[in-house]
A and B are shown apart, each in its own frame.
Chain A
């Protein structure tokens, strides 16, 4: 079974632009979560989607948004990019929501904001 895939793998943008990242979960998985990883803050939770609904959101500004489609694929969008948005963005999928459900991560998208 194929793992979580994320596209693109690398991206360079300039301040003020917006960006859309894509995540395809493992086949059959219905829950998708997004994380941001930076050297200073480590791995931080962005948001979680289940059945096309955002179920949980981390402490990030409104410039960060996401959505999930009926086939469970998810996208996240960052508008008005800032230098501090440079990070590795990780997507994780799981079968369903819950504390015993294992999340599997994709390889990430490396975003550089110039």
Chain B
């Protein structure tokens, strides 16, 4: 089962920041948080990942709380092309597998 909980859907106005929350209260110390998104019927696209510290790349920022029980993905200036299902995933902590366990994700609708 997925170790994350996300709201099923969210709306965001175009040009505004989209803040997507994720709860992962049972995360263990060596498990990473990964974010992917999937635009309708395409393969999931990697966005960002992190362990403890906040991370930023050209697509998004990832804010992880100090207790690591939750995180927020931030798309700083959402566009219509950011409309997608966003998945928050906690990677298996053993390091012995590349398996990803997907939950239901958050459907983000960016509106003009």
Contact = CB atoms under 8 A, between A and B. Distances in A.
A45 B99 contact: yes
Nearest to B96: A97
Given A31-B98, A56-B97, A107-B43, A99 B92 contact: yes
Contacts of A108: 41-43
Majority SS at the chain A contact face: strand
Interface residues of B, number: 27
Contacts of A105: 36, 43-46
Contact of A103 (B42, B46, B87): B46
Contacts, number: 73
Nearest to B104: A42
A106 interface: yes
Nearest to A110: B41
A4 interface: yes
Interface in A68-95: 88, 90, 92, 94
B101 interface: yes
Given A88-B41, A99-B92, A104 B46 contact: yes
State which size class the interface on A falls in. 20 to 34
Contacts of A103: 46, 98, 100
A51 interface: no
Contacts of B36: 105
A105 B89 CA distance: 15
20 contacts: A4-B43, A42-B102, A42-B103, A44-B102, A45-B101, A50-B98, A55-B97, A56-B99, A90-B43, A90-B44, A92-B43, A92-B44, A97-B97, A99-B32, A99-B95, A102-B34, A103-B100, A105-B46, A108-B42, A108-B43
Interface of B: 30-32, 34, 36, 41-46, 49, 87, 91-104
Interface of A: 4, 31, 33, 35, 42-45, 48, 50, 55-56, 58, 88, 90, 92, 94, 97-108, 110
